[in-house]
Structures are given as C-alpha cells and as structure tokens.
Chains A and B, each alone.
Chain A
C-alpha cells in the first residue's frame, strides 16, 4: 500500500493534541527535553511552510504588489523560521521518556516524514529551482492545496503556542529553565502566535475547502508500488487491487524520461499512439459490457447513463489515436532525431510540434511516387503532411481530455478508488469551471462572478506590457469589471434557462452526453487528405469506416492477451 500524506499528517495532529492535553507540572529535566522536542516540531513545521509557494508566487505574471494577506503570510513564514532557529532541536528521545516528550517527538517525526513524502514529487535543479516530477506536483502547488496545508500548519501553531506559553510559567520559581532559554522560548512562542494569526486572517477571506483538505491527505508518495503479478485463483478484490497497482505503475512509467530517448523518438510516439488506440478500444468494450451488466442488475439509472456516456466518449478516442498511429506509419524522425532534452521536457504533442517545426520529420523515398528522383533514403515531410499529423494529435488529445473528464465523473458517481485522481486533476487547473476540454460551454455551470477566467484579463495584459500609466490601468480595470458583470449576468440567465430545460435528475449526464456529441461532430471520420505531397502510402492507408464503432464483444482478446504480465 502506498503511503499517503494523511498517514503522517493526521497522526502528527493526534500526537500534538495528546501532548498539550497533559495536565500537571512537568519535572525540570522533562521540561528541558520537552522544549527541545518542541524545537524539532517547530523546525518541521517551518520546513513545511518554507516549501509552500505563497499566493504571490503562484501568479508571478500578475505584476502586482503582494496583497496584505500575502505579506502577512510571508511575515509568518519568517517568524516561524526564526522560531525554529531559536529553539534547540537536537535531541534523542528514548522509549521510556515522559509521555509529553514522546508525543512531541512522534509529532515532529511524522511531520518530517510527511514533508519528505511531499518532496518525492519534486526535484531541485542545479540552479536551485524546484520542479515537479510527478502528476501530483501541479495539484500540490495549486492555490487550494497550498491553502489547505497552510491551514494545517497554522492549526498546529495555534495549538502549540498557548501550551508552550504555559510551559514557561509553570514549575517552582527559581527552578527549571535558565532565564536566557526562557527568553528564547518566549520568542519562539511569539513566532507560533504570529503564524497562527496571520494564516487565520488570510484564510478568513479565502478559507481552504474540505475537498482540498481531503485531497491533501490523499497525496501518495511518488514511488511506483511494487509489481504484483496476477496469481491463480485470485478473488475479485485482489484482482481489482492489482489493476489499481498496475495503473499506478503505468502512470510512473509514462513519466520516465527513458521513454523518449532521442534515437527512438518517432518509434516512441508511434508506440504511444498504438497503446492509446488499443487501450481506448479495450476500454470501450469494457464500458459497454459494464453498462449492459448494470442494466441487467437494475443499477441506478444515473450510473448506467454515465457508463453509456463514457463508452460513447471512448468510442471517439480510439479512432482518433488510430488516426495518429496511421500518420506515424509513414513519418519518421529517421536518424535525424532532434534534441532529446527538448523532447523529454514536453508532452508528445508539443514535442512532435517542435520536431516538425525544425523540419525533422521524414518519410522513406521508396514510398514516393515514381518520378521522384531523390538520392537519399528519406525525404523531408511536407508541411501539409506534418500538419495532418499535428491535427490528428489535436483531435486525439482533445478527445482524450473529454474521456478523462467523463471517466472522472463516473468514478466519482460510484465512489471508485480512482476518484482521488479526478479530484487531483481538478486542483491542477488554476481556474474554476470547465477543465481542459470545453466542447459545450453552455453545458457547464459558469464560474462564479469575481473569479471567472476572463476577470482582470485586460489589466493583466497591460501589466505584462509594462504599462504603468494609471489612467490606462483604470480603464482596463473598468473594462474587466464590465466583462465580469456581463459574464455574471449571462451565467445567471444560462443557469435559469438550463434549469427550465434540463431534467434535474441527471444534469451532469446530460452535459457530458452533449459534450460527447459535440466532440463527435469534430472528429474526422476519415484520414486527412494529404494530396499536397503524394506518396503511394496515401492511397493505401485505409480510412476508418464511419461505422467502425465495434459491435458488442463476442470473444476475448485471445490473440493478444497471452501475456500474463501486468
């Protein structure tokens, strides 16, 4: 089982609560050790705080001075850092230590381990810049997740500060801590109070959501789980666990840089398209089978509808990826692969676009029509041909985004273990409202006024152009405000219209189904016509018939399903 951040965060909170709940005076020697453990704990809290991007860091393009909240939180970070520095935090706690000491020590250990877990999603470049290395990284650094973690830190600070204050006041007069140490502790307590107050004030205006806190606890470590090969006679629950483990391993493998080694770029992209086509095709069969079974079992109509919508969306995905694979039938990066680093840094589509832009896509001259006398084995692919490939990628990517959204919706409806992945994807996107694919804007509820994607757009553009003239900035702000008001009004009208026309029972299903239909209209049913650079290949790569959606499965994939490995 993969460890999650919650495995450390929750016990840390419980240990802190247990430590401060202790009633009675602490012996002098215990008090000194407790202060040192408190130091470790504050050090761990300060470390977590240091890792967080402040709100202003999240939007460096804003070109605005940080807000008062941001300044206060930044001040709190410094205060907590100073508090951690002031307290001595080198100590070794034995098993027979006082319960308060043991609880503080355990809380510090858990927080440090939790911080380490979060760090597995990032790597630090030689320049010192921290970059995400996992699918979770964008969600972890998103504003809602940052706010949630900030809230946790503030909560701990708020709990510890009064307890630590009490620590300095209890005990016989003239005994216990020396005066200098007492002053240091007072200073540290001040840091804790500042942290708690600043974060609380900031979060009063922008409170962290329950969803963000739940997702924070669900962040897994960024290590692939060990392989679990299928065994004979496994029960369904174990098979399901195995599937989840394999999927997680695949997510890790997909990010492995070795996948895009320069000499094998076009082959890698071709394989990626092949794998996507096959998995989408198999997924459609699975979803249709599940939908049929759900009907037989009389499952909730909402779930049945979502299964059908997901299957319909999947029936668009595999032809799109098949189209990409067909384009790669003839194109190649040959022996002239581009920079591997560039390719590794980007998604396939972007890397292919870059490679095409550099004129490094080729096709075998033997496939050119007779009359082309080219004394090389490969010739450069023409613009229309590479455009066709890129167009297929756009379609495939767009449909895949839709499929992901529909499956996330289905997973949430049936409370599947993968629900957390959908939640994570939601947090990756900085703006509320529709995610990557927006085939039918009217189908989605509009963003709330005050935070629409378009808000403050004009003003930002002016800032990005280094415009500082206050009159122009004011006009931009007025335009943005007017736009925002218009959107709010339109949203309200749209919502009231939808509420009249849509059945309230299944609004999500209808929206998704509409999106699938619109996407279906966009999907080319035939291979692009590449007549501007003819090759004999063009007449020979067959288009997918318009009725190519597979019929209901009749047999298993026996010819390719021989391998037992996951």
Chain B
C-alpha cells in the first residue's frame, strides 16, 4: 500500500494549514477507497470496514468545509490491495493513518486562527480517531501518534 506511505509523508511534511487540509482530504479519500475495497474480505470485518469508510466520508466532508482548504483537485489514488495482502496488514495501515490524521488535525485545530478552520479540523480529527479505533486491534494499546 504505497499510497498510504506517500500520504503519510505528505501529512507529516505539510508545514501550513492549507497543505495539511489538502493532504487530509486525500488521506480520507484513500482510507475510504481502501475500506470499500476490503469490506468483503472477511465477514467478521464487514461492519468495521463499512463504518471506517463512513467515518472517512465524514472526515473528508469536514475538511471540505474548512475555509483554508485550497482550491484544486484531489490527487488521491488508491490501488486495490494485493490479493495476498493480509487483512491484518491492511487494518494496521489504516489504523496508523487514522492515528496520524488525528494527531495532525488535532494539532492544527489548536493553532488555526479562523473558527471555521478550527471547527473543521476538530470534526475531521474526530472522524480520524474513529477510524483508528475501528481499525486498531483490540489489544492495541499504542498511543495515537
């Protein structure tokens, strides 16, 4: 899942709010697409993947409402995970990306000047936290990074 690595780098490298919001928009889209492509992989994870995709839409919609989101198109792409990619690997990647999004958006919500941006970042951070909670293993006691 090269896209997850790349978007993670973009999120970490974003130095200003518009860049972070644009990267977050794409990150939520990648999560949504991956979750949708995996929801039929394991019946026991159908609900988790479906709800993750839903949370990703919430996050993307929240970011879309941020005044600081720059105009332009999304560059998000997500390839189908390889057939031999393990479900654990996919969920771990999505959980990690959710955690990173939550961390960066929470930080931005605290720093943003415009109330609209603060609210959008907080809403999107909440969606990212849900993604992490849904995808993280039950015994995952790692702090959100």
Residues of A contacting B44 with CB < 8 Å?
553-559
Cβ–Cβ contact B64 & A281, under 8 A: no
Known interface pairs A285-B43, A550-B43; A542-B64 also in contact (CB < 8 Å): no
Residues of A contacting B50 with CB < 8 Å?
274, 277-278, 322, 325
Query: Which chain A residue has the least Cβ–Cβ distance from B60?
Result: A364
Known interface pairs A544-B40, A548-B40, A559-B45; A270-B54 also in contact (CB < 8 Å): yes
Cβ–Cβ contact B32 & A278, under 8 A: no
Cβ–Cβ contact A366 & B72, under 8 A: yes
CA A447 to CA B47, docked complex, whole Å: 42
Known interface pairs A364-B64, A366-B72, A377-B64; A267-B58 also in contact (CB < 8 Å): yes
Cβ–Cβ contact B51 & A560, under 8 A: yes
Cβ–Cβ contact B40 & A545, under 8 A: yes
Per DSSP, are chain A's interface residues mostly helix, strand or loop, or mixed? loop
CA A265 to CA B87, docked complex, whole Å: 33
**Is there a chain B Cβ closer than 8 Å to A51's Cβ?**
no
**Is there a chain B Cβ closer than 8 Å to A332's Cβ?**
yes
**Is there a chain A Cβ closer than 8 Å to B69's Cβ?**
yes
Query: Which chain B residue has the least Cβ–Cβ distance from A364?
Result: B64
CA A551 to CA B42, docked complex, whole Å: 8
Query: Which chain B residue has the least Cβ–Cβ distance from A378?
Result: B64
- Find the residue from B37, B43, B78 having the highest chain A CB count within 10 A: B43
Among B25, B37, B47, B57, the residue within 8 A (CB) of A278 is B47
Residues of A contacting B64 with CB < 8 Å?
364, 366, 377-378
- A residues 309-331 touching B (CB-CB < 8 Å): 318, 322, 325-326, 328-329
Residues of A contacting B32 with CB < 8 Å?
329
- B residues 8-44 touching A (CB-CB < 8 Å): 25, 29, 32-33, 36-37, 39-40, 43-44
- A residues 282-323 touching B (CB-CB < 8 Å): 282, 285, 318, 322
- A residues 226-276 touching B (CB-CB < 8 Å): 267, 270-271, 274
Q: How far in angstroms is the closest Cβ of chain A from B60? A: 7
Query: Which chain B residue has the least Cβ–Cβ distance from A541?
Result: B36
Residues of A contacting B29 with CB < 8 Å?
367, 540
- Find the residue from A285, A378, A540, A550 having the highest chain B CB count within 10 A: A540
**Is there a chain B Cβ closer than 8 Å to A369's Cβ?**
yes
**Is there a chain A Cβ closer than 8 Å to B119's Cβ?**
no
CA A375 to CA B57, docked complex, whole Å: 22
Cβ–Cβ contact A366 & B74, under 8 A: yes
Cβ–Cβ contact A550 & B46, under 8 A: yes
**Is there a chain A Cβ closer than 8 Å to B61's Cβ?**
yes
**Is there a chain B Cβ closer than 8 Å to A32's Cβ?**
no
Question: How many B residues are at the interface, by size bracket?
Answer: 35 or more
Contact mask for chain B residues 70-85; partner A; CB cutoff 8 A; 1 contact, 0 none:
0111101110100000
Residues of A contacting B57 with CB < 8 Å?
270, 328-329
Q: How many residues of A contact B (CB 8 A)?
A: 46
**Is there a chain B Cβ closer than 8 Å to A496's Cβ?**
no
Cβ–Cβ contact A271 & B54, under 8 A: yes
Cβ–Cβ contact A366 & B25, under 8 A: yes
Cβ–Cβ contact B71 & A542, under 8 A: no
Cβ–Cβ contact A322 & B47, under 8 A: no
- A residues 517-566 touching B (CB-CB < 8 Å): 536, 540-542, 544-545, 548, 550-551, 553-560, 562
Cβ–Cβ contact B73 & A369, under 8 A: yes
CA A285 to CA B46, docked complex, whole Å: 11
**Is there a chain A Cβ closer than 8 Å to B48's Cβ?**
yes
Q: How far in angstroms is the closest Cβ of chain A from B89? A: 15
**Is there a chain A Cβ closer than 8 Å to B53's Cβ?**
yes
**Is there a chain B Cβ closer than 8 Å to A368's Cβ?**
yes
Cβ–Cβ contact B61 & A377, under 8 A: no
Known interface pairs A326-B36, A550-B40; A281-B80 also in contact (CB < 8 Å): no
Known interface pairs A375-B71, A377-B64; A542-B80 also in contact (CB < 8 Å): yes
Cβ–Cβ contact B46 & A558, under 8 A: no
Residues of B contacting A554 with CB < 8 Å?
43-44
CA A350 to CA B11, docked complex, whole Å: 41
**Is there a chain B Cβ closer than 8 Å to A29's Cβ?**
no
**Is there a chain B Cβ closer than 8 Å to A370's Cβ?**
yes
Cβ–Cβ contact B53 & A329, under 8 A: yes
**Is there a chain A Cβ closer than 8 Å to B111's Cβ?**
no
Cβ–Cβ contact A559 & B134, under 8 A: yes
**Is there a chain A Cβ closer than 8 Å to B65's Cβ?**
yes
Cβ–Cβ contact B134 & A551, under 8 A: no
- A residues 165-194 touching B (CB-CB < 8 Å): none
CA A377 to CA B74, docked complex, whole Å: 12
- Find the residue from A536, A550, A560 having the highest chain B CB count within 10 A: A560
Cβ–Cβ contact A540 & B138, under 8 A: no
Cβ–Cβ contact B33 & A542, under 8 A: yes
Residues of A contacting B48 with CB < 8 Å?
557, 559-560
Known interface pairs A282-B47, A540-B33, A557-B47; A274-B40 also in contact (CB < 8 Å): no
Q: How far in angstroms is the closest Cβ of chain A from B9? A: 20
Residues of A contacting B33 with CB < 8 Å?
540-542
CA A281 to CA B72, docked complex, whole Å: 38
- B residues 61-108 touching A (CB-CB < 8 Å): 61, 64-65, 69, 71-74, 76-78, 80, 91
Contact mask for chain A residues 331-345; partner B; CB cutoff 8 A; 1 contact, 0 none:
010010000000000
CA A358 to CA B47, docked complex, whole Å: 33
Cβ–Cβ contact B73 & A377, under 8 A: no
Residues of A contacting B80 with CB < 8 Å?
542
Query: Which chain B residue has the least Cβ–Cβ distance from A559?
Result: B48
Cβ–Cβ contact A274 & B54, under 8 A: yes
Chain A residues near B (Cβ < 8 Å): 267, 270-271, 274, 277-278, 281-282, 285, 318, 322, 325-326, 328-329, 332, 335, 364-370, 372, 375, 377-378, 536, 540-542, 544-545, 548, 550-551, 553-560, 562
Task: List 4 other contacts, CB 8 Å, given A282-B47, A285-B43, A318-B46.
Answer: A366-B25, A367-B29, A377-B69, A559-B45
* 5 pairs of residues in contact across A and B, judged by CB atoms under 8 Å: A267-B61, A326-B36, A365-B73, A541-B36, A560-B51
Chain B residues near A (Cβ < 8 Å): 25, 29, 32-33, 36-37, 39-40, 43-48, 50-51, 53-54, 57-58, 60-61, 64-65, 69, 71-74, 76-78, 80, 91, 134-135, 137-138
The 9 A-B pairs with the shortest beta carbon distances in the complex, nearest first, are A550-B43, A542-B37, A559-B48, A560-B47, A548-B40, A366-B74, A278-B47, A540-B33, A555-B44
